[in-house]
Amino acid sequence: MTDTILSVENLNVSFQTNNGLVRAVRGVNFDIKKGETLAIVGESGSGKSVTAKSIMHLLPKKTTQIEDGTILYEGENLINYSRKEMETIQGKEISMIFQDPMTSLNPTMKIGKQVMEGLRKHQAISKKEALEKTQEILEMVGIPNAKERMNAYPHEFSGGMRQRVVIAIALACNPKLLIADEPTTALDVTIQAQILDLMKELQKKTGTSILIITHDLGVVVNMADRVAVMYAGEIVETGTLRELFYEAKHPYTWGLLESMPKMHQDRSVPLVPISGSPPDVSNLHEGCPFAARCPYVMKVCHHHNPERTYVTDSHAASCWLLDERAPRVKHSIGGGTTNEAKTR
């Protein structure tokens, strides 16, 4: 018996495009334990959605090349699963929700019917049972007057209510893993918090594992047990929530943390964004992909991509500063905590 539900090893995904090969995901490794929440965080274009979609086989077959890697779900490698085999996984074992609830809902079908279809696709239950279960699920995700609202169409719901419906559909068959790709990005802040709370509450009830993808560190703090930081298609740092926020080792993570608005921050203090922009993943140079933006860049960084170095069993980063020959760097993050990239 293992307590790991999903284990992604050395995933490499590229796209064939008119501008050449886009190397969207390179050597990605992570795993998710039963009942835990892993957050993948990074700037737009860092390969978060491609990672999630490759798990679910949602990438365009024609142009996608999965060059290497394994995606072990409950010990089974999903990489070479046929469409038919994936259908036994999608929705029932693993569910996915996206940023825009409208893309997951059918605008011409009543809400109740959409939830019911999800239920009946995977479970041999009667129409009457499905109807009762639908109402139950809609109530569970906080749709008021669920019985009447089942007859409404998606456009009659607010954005937040629509995302609740999408979560209801995603959780209808008790999946063991929920992949949520920027699930609250399109919602305003108050509704965002409500949806995140809902996901946590449902996770507590069902024990579902969650992979949440976000560019927002606020969402990470709210949800994650562990965090993986992605940059230009690679995971550059991974650790527990605590390790990432208080003991970060990668200069990119430091930059992300510095750009995060502080809770009690004086609004007149400007945010510190990471200057520059991520490299073009269709034209990568040798060396560390963050070298061009890194305030601590060394000569070696331009020539060799650093290997993953473990700081603790749960905490690793890919940075030359962790090499024992590197100079010691002190960095203050999180409002005064002193961080040492290198500890002896």
Give, to the nearest 10 degrees, the angle between helix 159-171 and helix 127-140: 130
Residues numbered 15-54 forming contacts with Mg ion, rule: CB under 5 A: 49
Contacts of 28 (CB under 8 A, 6+ apart): 8, 10, 11, 12, 47, 51, 69, 230, 233, 234, 235
208's contact among ligand ADP, Mg ion, none, with CB below 5 to 8 A by partner kind, is none
Residues binding Mg ion: what is the number (CB under 5 A)?
1
What tokens were used for 32? 């998710």
| Alpha-carbon span 235 to 255, nearest angstrom | 15
Of the two residues 24 and 187, which places its CB atom closer to ligand ADP in the complex?
24
Q: CA-to-CA distance for 251 and 274, rounded, in angstroms?
A: 10
Stretch that binds ligand ADP, among 43-51, 123-131, 268-276, 307-315 (CB under 6 A): 43-51
Residue 210 binding: pick among ligand ADP, Mg ion, none (C-beta 5-8 Å cut-off by kind) = none
Angstrom distance (rounded) from CA 53 to CA 55: 5
Question: In this structure, what token pair is assigned to residue 182?
Answer: 């920027």
Residue window 260-299: x/- pattern of binding to ligand ADP, with contact defined by CB under 6 A: ---------------------x------------------
Angle between helices 189-206 and 159-171 (to 10 degrees): 20
Nearer to ligand ADP, 60 or 270 (CB): 60
Give 123 or 185: the residue with its C-beta nearer to ligand ADP.
185
x/- letters, 303..332, toward Mg ion (CB under 5 A): ------------------------------
Residue whose CB is less far from ligand ADP, 42 or 154: 42
Using the structure block, give the residue that is written with the tokens 């995603």: 170
Give the nearer residue to ligand ADP in terms of CB position, either 45 or 154.
Answer: 45
| Neighbour tally for 23: CB within 10 Å | 21
212 DSSP β-pair partners: 39, 180
> Measured from the CB of residue 96, what is the shortest distance to Mg ion in angstroms?
12
x/- track of binding to ligand ADP for residues 54-73 (CB under 6 A)? ------x--x----------
**Which of 39, 42, 184, 243 is the binder for ligand ADP (CB under 6 A)?**
42
221 in Cβ contact with 245 (< 8 Å)? yes
Please report how close the Cβ of residue 52 comes to Mg ion at its closest, in angstroms. Answer: 8
Q: Applying CB under 6 A, which of residues 18, 19, 44, 268 lies at the interface with ligand ADP?
A: 44
**Angstrom distances, CA of residue 165 to CA of 49, 115, 139, 171, 188:** 21, 8, 10, 10, 17
CB nearer to ligand ADP: pick between 19 and 338:
19
Provide the CA 323 distance to its chain's centre, in angstroms.
Answer: 29
Least gap, CB of 35 to Mg ion (angstroms): 25
Q: Nearest-5° angle of CA 300, CA 302, CA 304?
A: 60
CB closer to ligand ADP, 72 vs 284:
284
Residues that bind Mg ion (CB under 5 A): 49
Residues that bind ligand ADP (CB under 6 A): 15, 17, 22, 24, 42, 44-50, 60, 63, 281
